[in-house]
Amino acid sequence: MIAMLFLLLAIIKSAIAQTEVAEIQTPKSPPPILVIEDEGAYRFASGSAEIPPAMNAYIKNKIVPEIERNTKEYQINVVEIIGHTDGQGNGNATNNLDQNLEKVANASIPVSQLKAGSNADLGLMRALAVVRILHDLQSKGQLKGLKFRAYSAAQLILPDGNFASVNRKPDATRRRIEIRFTRPGEPIKVK
């Protein structure tokens, strides 16, 4: 009987210890969203996804250490890069993303070879340009074990997270790159 009580006590202590470890290892708050605003030396040329030299240095010297810190702190393995534009029309009726997007993602051709036909295209191209920098750094030993995904929100989402109303005027406050941290689960098919 006493042996059973000691066994039960040991099991309870083990369960409590595991719960405490899980609480310590899992942050209670969500990870931050890193934002690169499209302004000053970090501004993309209109209709372009080429990273300005100052933005390139900013990504390497400021953003990458933040990515490394947050992925470790929040136990993240996927980093999402989201390109946001304003509602101003792109003006390029032809695009070549369908033919060349994978080639850029695999570094066969530079991002500058892509032609955006819409703001959705442009946002994706800009996100992909940032991903290319991160992949390059990863090939040199930084950002180990991380996966990067490029997305576009086009002109649809305002900086406060709300849907944008129709506004076709240039608006630098809406143009940005967001860097988000996630831990994807297993896909399930809901029936």
CA–CA separation, 81 and 75 (whole Å):
18
Q: Indicate which CATH number applies to the domain containing 60.
A: 3.30.1330.60
Q: Give domain status of residue 19, yes or no.
A: no
Tens-place pLDDT, residues 87-106: 888 766 688 888 888 888 88
Element holding 97 (H helix, E strand): helix 97-105
Looking at the domain assignment, is residue 114 inside a domain? yes
Instruction: For residues 82 and 57, give the distance between their C-alpha atoms in angstroms, rounded to a whole number.
Output: 19
Residue 6 burial (10 A CB sphere; 0-12, 13-18, 19+):
exposed
Residue 95 lies in a domain: yes
Question: Residue 162 domain-assigned?
Answer: yes
* Residue 164: domain span: 34-182
Over range 17-34, report the average pLDDT. 73
Q: Is residue 53 over pLDDT 70?
A: yes
Q: Mean pLDDT, to the nearest integer, of 30-48?
A: 93
- For residue 4, is it within any domain? no
pLDDT of 157-170, one tens digit each?
889 888 888 888 88
Report whether pLDDT(72) > 60.
yes
For the ranges 11-15, 44-48, 114-118, 173-177, the lowest mean pLDDT is seen at 11-15
Total count of domains within the chain? 1
Over pLDDT 70: what percentage of the chain?
86
The answer to whether position 149 is within a domain reads yes
Residue 85 lies in a domain: yes
Query: What Å distances lie between residue 99 and 48, 51, 133, CA to CA?
Result: 18, 22, 22
